[in-house]
Chain A
Amino acid sequence: AQTVTQSQPEMSVQEAETVTLSCTYDTSENNYYLFWYKQPPSRQMILVIRQEAYKQQNATENRFSVNFQKAAKSFSLKISDSQLGDTAMYFCAFCTSGTYKYIFGTGTRLKVLA
């Protein structure tokens, strides 16, 4: 069975600092996609970043970047220059090519401190 594990239930970071959220997954598939979604207090799910497993280059989106280690099945999210608006629940998600279904991790609650 495919699983996604986020081992950090809660984290905090000072404004302007950098924080890394961890995610590991388990699969026997070779073609898949990985995502980080943000869920602020409004509970709207917002796509932060995505990574295709066949791409070796780590994805980046402005202040957000990932460290994708395929062999280790690790997919961490780095947030640079943290802002108060980054305070949210962050979910790591996995999707195999063809099934279209997401498998979500349990989430990491991030609080950015002023």
Chain B
Amino acid sequence: GAVVSQHPSWVICKSGTSVKIECRSLDFQATTMFWYRQFPKQSLMLMATSNEGSKATYEQGVEKDKFLINHASLTLSTLTVTSAHPEDSSFYICSARDRTRGYGYTFGSGTRLTVV
């Protein structure tokens, strides 16, 4: 089945530094990648949508300069949290759409970010 590899699974960083999270589709082409944020015991909040080779589309209230998304190839998308602060600590999940498979997207395993 379709697999999305997300790395790192957890990261601790100092306030003010940047962190990059990668999502790779291993056996399919991810024409669209979605990035979510999930707070403890809450639902997934869509942050942005990226299509391969295009600029990401951010949801209302999400700072595009803080959360940089790159989707340069059909198998790789990255989310960079720039100048991270403790309030950016959260669980970040990507999901990938394979246009040959319809609307059941594959999710990465998530990244737990802790900013100290």
Contact = CB atoms under 8 A, between A and B. Distances in A.
B103 A91 contact: no
- Binding site secondary structure of chain A: loop
B105 A102 contact: yes
Given A100-B49, A101-B49, A102-B34, A44 B44 contact: no
Interface of B: 32, 34, 38, 42-44, 46, 49, 91, 93, 95, 97, 103-107, 109-110
Contacts of B109: 42-44
Contacts of B91: 43
B107 A44 contact: yes
B44 A95 contact: no
Contact of B110 (A33, A35, A43, A102): A43
- Binding site secondary structure of chain B: strand
A91 B107 contact: no
Interface of A: 33, 35, 37, 42-47, 50, 91, 95, 97, 100-102, 104-107
B114 to A, nearest CB: 15
